[in-house]
Structure 1
Amino acid sequence: MNKGILSRIFSNKLFLIILSVVISLTIWISINMGDFAETSYSVSNIPITIDLPDTASSQGLKVFNNDELKGTVTVSGNRSIIGNLTSDDIEIVPEQTDNLTSAGSYTLSLVAKKKSSSLNYTIESVSPSTVYIKLDRNRNVTKKIEQNISYTIPKDYYGTVLLDNESVTISGPETEIKKIDKVVVEGNVKEELKSSVTNEYDVKLLDSFGEEIKTNDTLTISPSKVKATVSVLQKKDVNVELSTVNGPSGIDLTKYCKIEPNSISLGADSSNIENITKVNIEPIDFSTLRNKDYKINKNLDIPNKCVDINSVNSVVVNMDLSSMEKKTITLTDFDIKGLDKKYSANVTTQSVEVTLYGTKSALKNIDENDIDAVIDFTGTEVSAGSRTMPLSLTLKDKDGCWIYGSYEVVVEIS
C-alpha cells in the first residue's frame, strides 16, 4: 500500500470516527476486564483481638504482652473489591479461648474473619498463624527506692544522697510483681566532690538474687527515672552542752553531770559551719530533781541547716546530785498579779511549804524573804468564786540552790 492510499484513508472522516470508536471500546474492555480479574492482596496492621471468656474475666485476668498484637491477612478476589480493603474490614481472633481459665502463658492459633459478609473475597492466610500471650491479674505496688550512688569526697567533708522521689509505683502482671525484691538506682560520680551535684538515674528492679528484672513493656514504673543529689557538707566535731530550766545559778553543773557522748559530728555548708561551736540538749527541768543520782535521756537540739552525721539524735545525762542539801521554807506572803481591777482576791491558803535543794552554804542563810511567790491571773478567765491557782516561785538573786516541785493555792474571787 503506497503513501497515496494511506493518505486517502486517514483523510476519510468516516474511517477516523470508526477507528476512534474501536480503540475506545478496546481500552474500556481492557480496563473492566482487569477490575474483574482474580488477584491476591495483603492487608497489614490488623489488630489481633482477644476476648477472654467470662471465667477468666471474673478472676480479674487480662492479657499482658510485650508488643502490640497485630497481624497480616492475605486475601484473594476481584481487584475492584480487595484493592479497597483496609485493616478495619478484617479481624484476627484466636481460634479458641475456652482454655483461657487461669494465669499462665498460652500459644493461640489465629484465624481471620470478615467484618462484613456483603463483600465477596476469600481469606487465604493469616500471619502470624499463632500468638504467644501471658494471662495474669494486674497488680499495683509501691516500693521504697534504695540508692547505690558511689562518690568520693575529701576526708573533712560529709556526703549523703537525697532522692527527689523516695518510692515508685509498679504496675503489671502479678507473677512478675512478686519477683521484685527491691528497687534501686545505681550510679557513680567520678570526680571528687566539694559541693553538691545532681544527676538523673534509671530506676531498676532486682529479684532476690540481685539480678535485674527487665520490664519488657509488661511492667510499668512510675516514675521510671529519679534525680539523685549528692549533698556535700563540711564536717565539724562540736561539744554537747547541758541546758537547764529552773536550775541553780552560780554552780558549775559540769562537776555534777556527765554527758554521753559529749561530742558529735555535724555537717553543714561552709557558710554555716563556721558559726557553730556547740550543740545543746533539750533542757532539763531542775524543779523535778532532788538530791539523788539521775540517768536522763535527752534529745539533741541540732542547729538549723545542719545534719547529725552519725544520727546520734540523743544523749544520756548522768547527774549526781546526792551531795546537795534539802531545806523546807514556809511561805505566807503571796502577791496577786494580772487581776482585773473590778475583782478582788483573797488567798485562803494560809501557808505553803516549799522544798529547796542546793549546796549547804547556799541554803544556810536563805529564808522566805528570798522567794517571790506570785499568783498570776494574766490571760485567765476570771469569775467570782473560789478557785485553785498555780503559785509561781522565784529565788531572789540566790546562787547554788533551786526550788523543787510545783505549788498551788486557793483564791477567793469577789
Structure 2
Amino acid sequence: MSSTAPQDTGAGPQRLWSVDEHLADILAAVRPLEPIELQLLDAQGCVLVEDVTVPVALPPFDNSSMDGYAVRVADVAGASEEFPAVLTVVGDVAAGSGELPTVRPGEAARIMTGAPLPPGAEAVVPVEWTDGGTGGGAATGMTAASQAPEGAEGEVRVHRAAEARAHVRARGSDVKAGALALEAGTVLGPPQIALLAAIGRGTVRVRPRPRVVVLSTGSELVQPGEPLTEGRIYDSNSFALAAAARDAGAIAYRVGAVADDADGLRATIEDQLVRADLLVTTGGVSVGAYDVVKEALSAVGDEDEPGGGVDFRKLAMQPGKPQGFGSVGPDHTPLMALPGNPVSSYVSFELFVRPAIRTLMGLPDVSRPSVRAVLKADKALTSPAARRQFLRGAYDPVAGTVSPVGGSGSHLIAALAHADCLLVVPEDATSVEPGAELEVVLLG
C-alpha cells in the first residue's frame, strides 16, 4: 500500500504530516468493498449499489382505509341522523378477500381496513357513521355485523353522506409501478427495508458492512469486570473504538488486550486477518521502549508482500501526533495504528478511521459534518504553534455557540463522555479569544 508523499515540513523521519495529508493518503488507498446480494434483513445498514424500481403499484389495488361499508355515492346523498339511508348489506369484504360481492343501487358491503374496494362501490362510510347494521339508531361498531353469518343479508342505516373516493386508498397512491423506489447509494435502514419488502424484493445488491477488528495493546491493561491490581488500568480504548466502528456502520470485532510482545501481536493480527476488512490497533505507536506495534509492524510486507507494510509517522496535530497506516497480510488488509491515550485514540478514529470505514461502504460523505460556531468561554484557548488542536466541546445549535468541555489532556476521558463535538483550533493560531468563530466537528 503506497503512501502519498507529504509536503516538505522537515527532514527525514522527523518531518510532520498535516492532518489533511494523512487523511488523503488513507482515502487514496482504501477502496469500497465489492457488492454482494443479500437477504433483506442481512442488508440492514448496507449501501445499495443499484437503483431499485417498483415492479407493481403500491398499494396494488383500491382499498379501504376504514372499517365501515362500501357504498355508492348516490345511495347516501342527503343522509342524516333524522333521515338515514337504508341499504341492503350484500356481503363482507375482509383484507385478503379474493371473490368480491358487487354493490348495486341500494346496496352496501361490510368492509374492513385494507380490504379491496368491491365492484360498484364508490366510497367507504366509516362504521361510526352508521348503526353498525343492527337496525338501531346509534352507531355501535362492527361487533353485531361481524357476528352475522358470512354473506348473510341485512340492513344498515347510514347517517351521513359520502363523497366519491372517501376513505379509499387509491391503487398506486404510495408508489406507482415503474417509479424509482430507492437510489443507489442509499443506506438501508428499517423504513427502506420495509419498502423493499412491500414491493416484493426478497434480496438486494449492496456493499456489505465492513468488518473491523479492534486490538488494544499494553501489558498494563485489564478487562472491565476483573480485579484491578497495582499499576494496572482497565482497557477502555478497545470498547470505545469497537463502539465507534459500529456507529460508523461497520461490524466490529473487539479483541482483548494484547501484551507488550511483538511476536504475540504479529500472531494475533495474522489470526484476525480472516475476518477483517480493516484492522485498528491502539497503543504502542510512539517512541517508548515498549511500543510493540511499531516493532511488530514496521517491516511487515517489505519482502514477502510487495506493496504492503505499515508506515509510522508524526502528524501536526494535538492530540494524536503519532499515527501508523498501511496494509498487512496476503490481501493487503488496511491497518490503522492509533495512539494509546484514550482521547488521542478516539479523536484519531473520528478523523481517520471513520472516513476509511465509510469509504469501504461506498458512501460519498465520509467525514463527520462540521459547522462554524462562536466560542463561549471564560478565557482564551491556547494551542501549540503549528499544530491543529482538537478540543472537546458542547455545541448549542440554537445560540450558535460552542463551549469547551474539560481540559486539553489526552487522558481526560471523562470530559469526552460529556462532549458532543470537537473544537478545531487551526495550525496558525496559538490562542483563540472568547467570541471568536471556530470550526466545530459534530459528533453523533
Q: Do they superpose with TM above 0.5?
A: no
Considering Cα pairs closer than 8 Å and 6+ residues apart, tell me whether 1 or 2 has the greater RCO: 2
Identify the structure with the greater helix proportion.
2
TM-score, with structure 2 as normaliser: 0.19
TM-score, with structure 1 as normaliser: 0.20
Identify the structure with the greater strand proportion.
1
